Amino acid sequence: MPGRPSPENKMRLLGIETSCDDTAAAVVVDGYTVESNVLASQDEFHRAYGGIVPEIASRQHAETINAVIELALRKARRGFDDLDGIAVTCGPGLPGSLVVGVAVAQAAALARDLPVFAVNHLHGHLFANYLENREQPNHPPPVTPFVCLVVSGGHTDLIAVESPSRHRVIGRTLDDAAGEAFDKVARILGLGFPGGPAIDQLARSGDPRAFDFPRGLIRNAGYDFSFSGLKTAVRYHVDAHPEDVERRCADLAASFQAAVVDALCEKTIRAAGDASVTTIALAGGVAANSSLRTELRRRAADAGIAVLVPPLAYCTDNAAMIAAAAFYRGEQGQVRPQDLRIDPNFAW
Ligand code: KG4
Ligand code: ZN
């Protein structure tokens, strides 16, 4: 077991996440029991700009990180003395954002003589599937091997997970990430930022078959994705029929969402079938999408494949998943506090 086991032989980690625009801290025991999970969203500061402004993100992290960590410890009824280590996101992400979490983790680890774990944010999304799920009490951790679809604002990756410490990237987007496509199309439709939840909501009252938008590389061999052609198709449609933004916005949102979900489901289920695995796990902010959750479950059930989906709060960025990743990857992520560095391009 990595780190320093606590008296009750449990591994209690403080997770810290500041890779993008959410300031988050959590206390998690054995990569499973979430004693607290605190998040300060910066949406209100970025909304006026229609996207994330890196300088604002960095400044907000610096202003709130200490309060967020204090609140996470208070909610967990723990102090630094109860911790067995600190897990912090080192990348990928915005340099000015990452540096805030890493500096605080480094200072706390040195001051309190605690082990520190450098966590890849994408591993965090994957290990969100290992956290407790109050919607399914006592669910066991996912049994390997399985295929994980990580769909976020910056990534759309298909991962073959062989064990908690071994995985391979088997597919990825060749251009825009799925979440990025949601955000860009939401902007085209005037739905504001962040776009994913807005499209998800509006699509419920729209017809997903109203417009036949392209499905990227859906017929190609291999498991790569492409979403920039889809985004451009929505833009061309809106340029040619500007009145549809007013009159048929829900249909446009639903048809766009259906195209994304179709491509994601098709490739993911095919990858799982080819690998002969019986479990698919979903992860990342776009895993919060209601249509993706329902449709993937429905189509996978037809193929005899089970689908694991983390609770909503663990799909979008959070710090509990960072603590879980550190627990499961153990010594693979442990570094000396003085060696802790950001890695904005940290690869899988
Ligand atoms: O994982 P995440 O919180 O941050 C990154 O690591 O990127 O993902 C954020 C992305 C954004 O693009 C956001 O629009 C999208 O997740 N998202 C959604 C939904 N909720 C968040 N996309 C579609 N439907 C949603 N309900
Ligand atoms: Zn993320």
Residues 114 and 186 in one domain: no
pLDDT in the model for residue 5 = 47
Question: Is residue 155 situated within a structural domain?
Answer: yes
Residue 214: inside a domain: yes
103 with 56, same domain? yes
Please state the atom number of ligand 1 nearest to the C-alpha of residue 177.
12
How far lies 61's CA from each of 20, 56, 68, 284, in Å? 9, 9, 10, 21
Percentage of residues in the chain with pLDDT exceeding 90? 90
When pLDDT is averaged across residues 122-128 and rounded to a whole number, the result is 98
Same domain, yes or no: 273 and 335: no
* Confidence at residue 217, expressed as pLDDT on a 0 to 100 scale: 86
Give per-residue pLDDT as tens, 330-348.
889 999 999 999 999 999 9
* Confidence grade of residue 124 (pLDDT, cut at 50, 70, 90): very high
- Tell me the ligand closest to 313's alpha carbon: 1
> Are residues 89 and 50 part of one domain?
yes
With H, G, I as helix, E, B as strand and everything else as coil, classify residue 212.
coil
Whether the per-residue pLDDT at 24 is higher than 70: the answer is yes
Q: Is the CB of 310 under 6 A from ligand 1?
A: no
Whether residue 262 is found in the same domain as residue 242: yes
**One domain, residues 72 and 206:** no
Is the CB of 194 inside a 6 Å radius of any atom of ligand 1? yes
In a domain? residue 348:
no
Whether 91 is in the pocket of ligand 1, judged by its Cβ within 6 Å, is: no
Say what the pTM is. Answer: 0.94
279 and 331 fall within a common domain: no
For residues 334 and 245, membership in a common domain is answered with no
Q: What is the number of domains present in the chain?
A: 2
What is the per-residue pLDDT for 135? 80
Instruction: Please name which of 11, 28, 90, 131 lies closest in space to residue 335, comparing C-alpha atoms.
Output: 90
What pLDDT score was predicted for residue 345?
Answer: 97
CATH of the domain at 23: 3.30.420.40
Quote the domain boundaries for residue 56: 7-133+315-339
Q: Which of the residue ranges 13-27, 159-173, 216-230, 260-274 would you say has the lowest mean pLDDT?
A: 216-230
297 in the same domain as 326: no
Q: Is residue 259, in this structure, part of any structural domain at all? A: yes
Residue 2: what pLDDT?
46
Question: Does one domain contain both 84 and 179?
Answer: no
Report residue 163 as tokens.
């064990």
Give residue 232's pLDDT band: very low, low, confident or very high (50, 70, 90). very high
Q: 138 lies in a domain? A: no
Asked whether residue 209 carries a pLDDT value surpassing 70, the answer given is yes
With a 6 A CB cut-off, is 124 part of the ligand 1 pocket?
Answer: no
40: in domain: yes
Q: What pLDDT does 1 receive?
A: 40
CA of 64 to the centre of ligand 1 (A): 22
Instruction: Say yes or no: 256 and 221 in one domain.
Output: yes
Kindly state the average pLDDT of the residues 9-28: 96
Ligand 1 atom 3: residue of nearest CA: 316
Distance from C-alpha of 183 to C-alpha of 252, rounded to nearest angstrom? 14
Is residue 288 within 6 Å of ligand 1 at its C-beta?
A: yes
Judge whether 1 lies within some domain: no
Nearest-angstrom CA–CA distance, 5 and 33: 16
Q: Are residues 119 and 156 in the same domain?
A: no
Q: Please provide the average confidence, as pLDDT, over all residues in the chain.
A: 95
Residue 302 lies in a domain: yes
- DSSP letters, 61-116, are HHHHHHHHHHHHHHHTT--GGG-SEEEEEEESS-HHHHHHHHHHHHHHHHHHT--E
